[in-house]
Structure 1
Amino acid sequence: MSTIVFVHAHPDDEASQSACSMARAVQEGHRVVLVLATNGDHGQPPDDLAEGETVVLRRRREAEASAAAIGTHRLVWLGYADSGMTGWPQNEHEGAFVRADVEQAAQRLAGVLRDEAADVVVGYDWHGGYGHPDHVQTHRVTKRAAELAGTPRYLEGTMNRDAAVRGIAAARAAGLPVGDWDPTRPMDDGNPMGTPEVELHWACDLRDWIEVKRRALQAHASQTSDVGMMLAIPAAAFREQFGWEYYIEPGRPAGMVVGWFLDTDPNHS
């Protein structure tokens, strides 16, 4: 059995992006650790905050509920503040993750990897999927932490841009309300969403774990704009759209394998 550390930028990213992978790994007997880089304090403030309750406290509790729904064995907070989207004033706030020294942040994460004797660490692709500053920083920090800790395998979670294009086309053909959403248009940093299929290494069919992802998303009930939009997708479409999770594994031979990345020999033989 292996120990896998998944590193995410904000509370709820783990639910939308890798919940199915984490749940399958847990079910198979692997140790799964979730690391969240920021406290998500610039997320959507809920209307029902109690007296003395903050957005940070609510999102921490929601993240704990999500982690419990997935079955993770440990939840670690790196302790940085949410940086907001590109160009927001929060980018310059003291404590914002985007302003953190990459080497220092990576040393902090590497400490978790060493403590866990991690076999695999999973971060984000080079532009964080859609260019959010905290996601891009998560890529930098995770990649460097893997080097510092000597973690045997390093993967990057991403989105399959081509699959997204096909999915949007199918949804429109079925008459579903998708608006003008276009995965190929410029996102937060000017790059299109995710990664072209030709650059992917792993396409993981995790549709059997889709209800775990739904429960993890439901745990983040305060984030009604993003999470609410995902949960409003019809069940069949949700299963197809969110039941596949994609990874890049730098150093692995080119070509996308439809399979489970924990079934492979880490030496890629």
Structure 2
Amino acid sequence: MGTMVNFHAHPDDEAIATSGTMMKAADDGHRVVLVVATRGEQGEPVSGVLEPGERLGERRAAETLDSAAIIGAHRVEFLGYEDSGMAGDPANDNPACFWRADFDEAVERLARILIEESADVLTVYDEHGGYGHPDHIQVHRVGVGAARKVGIERVFYATMNRTRILRQMAEVESFAEAMEAMETERLERFDPEDFGTAEEEITQEDFGTAEEEITHAVDVTSYLGRKRAAMLAHTSQIAPDSFFGDMTEEQFADAFGVEWFVAPGLAQTDGFATDLFG
């Protein structure tokens, strides 16, 4: 058996992006560790959910522990940086935010955990962080740097299958409606004109990854009930009547039944690989 470390930017990212893969690894007998770069202080809380005087970052950290318990993670660690906000937000300039973190220091913080855990597998995000969020891009950079520092070879980039999403939107009306609802919810959180970073501009082609470039597809359909529960554990961000909560079982399975990864340096040959430990 081995150890998988899953590196994420904010609370709830783990539930949405890789929770099914984490559940499967834990059920297969592997040790599963969740590392979160920030406590998501810049998120927009669901109206009325915070108690008077309650800080959002503290609430989201507690929600992460609840989510991790549902997932079956064996350890949860926060790297201690502050949320950088969406691209173009004033929070991007906060010297304490993850986007502005000293690269070598951030690499060392993660590397210490990887060494402590004798990690065999590390998951991060793809090069553009899935959709251009500064903290997601930084997770990729720091994660790859830490893996290189400690010599982890099995590094996987969690991503979205852009080809499949576009195909489903064209073929299935219910899926298109669900994705449009998710896009509306996403756009409420930031201005699309700021969809980029200080160093590069993120285009529609950089949303997720083309199918032919994806190497691993992990079927998590048997974990979808727990996956949705892990998402809804983040009550400050995901209300029961939100997009994620309102999706039918069919819509949820279409959107989240497979988790996609890219193994750098490998090429897809006879279809997708299905096991990050294989």
- AA matched with 1:28: D
Report the counterpart of residue 163 of structure 1 in structure 2.
164
Cα offset for 1:49?
Answer: 1.9
Distance 1:220 1:251 in 2: 35
Report the counterpart of residue 222 of structure 1 in structure 2.
236
Report the counterpart of residue 143 of structure 1 in structure 2.
144
Distance 1:257 1:117 in 2: 30
Q: Deviations over 1:177-230 (max 9, x none)?
A: 654859xx9992222210001111111111111112111001001113799222
Moved more, 164-173 or 106-115: 164-173
Report the counterpart of residue 256 of structure 2 in structure 1.
242
Change (3 A) 1:113 1:234: same
Structure 1 portions without partners, runs of 5+: 265-269
- AA matched with 2:145: R
Report the counterpart of residue 78 of structure 1 in structure 2.
79
Cα offset for 1:21?
Answer: 0.1
- AA matched with 1:216: A
Cα offset for 1:176?
Answer: 4.0
Normalised TM-score (structure 1): 0.90
Q: Deviations over 1:152-192 (max 9, x none)?
A: 3111100100011122223327784654859xx99922222
Report the counterpart of residue 202 of structure 1 in structure 2.
216
Contact 1:34–1:72 (8 Å) recurs in 2: yes
Percent identical pairs in the alignment equals 40
Structure 2 residue 231 is matched with structure 1 residue 191: no
Report the counterpart of residue 63 of structure 1 in structure 2.
64
Distance 1:165 1:81 in 2: 34
Cα offset for 1:235?
Answer: 1.1
Report the counterpart of residue 36 of structure 2 in structure 1.
36
- AA matched with 1:154: V
Change (3 A) 1:90 1:256: farther
Contact 1:220–1:227 (8 Å) recurs in 2: no
Moved more, 46-55 or 66-75: 46-55
Contact 1:156–1:248 (8 Å) recurs in 2: yes
Distance 2:271 2:9 in 1: 26
* Helix, strand or coil at the partner of 1:214: helix
Change (3 A) 1:79 1:215: same
Report the counterpart of residue 17 of structure 2 in structure 1.
17
* Helix, strand or coil at the partner of 2:236: coil
Contact 1:203–1:256 (8 Å) recurs in 2: no
Contact 2:33–2:76 (8 Å) recurs in 1: yes
Indicate the RMSD between aligned Cα atoms, in angstroms. 2.3
Normalised TM-score (structure 2): 0.88
- AA matched with 2:262: I
Distance 2:105 2:164 in 1: 36
* Helix, strand or coil at the partner of 1:155: strand
* Helix, strand or coil at the partner of 1:261: coil
Distance 1:227 1:3 in 2: 36
Distance 1:226 1:97 in 2: 29
Report the counterpart of residue 267 of structure 1 in structure 2.
none
Moved more, 213-222 or 245-254: 245-254
Change (3 A) 1:175 1:66: closer
- AA matched with 2:97: A
Distance 2:115 2:175 in 1: 49
Distance 2:78 2:241 in 1: 21
- AA matched with 1:191: T
Structure 2 portions without partners, runs of 5+: 185-191, 197-201
Contact 1:207–1:240 (8 Å) recurs in 2: no
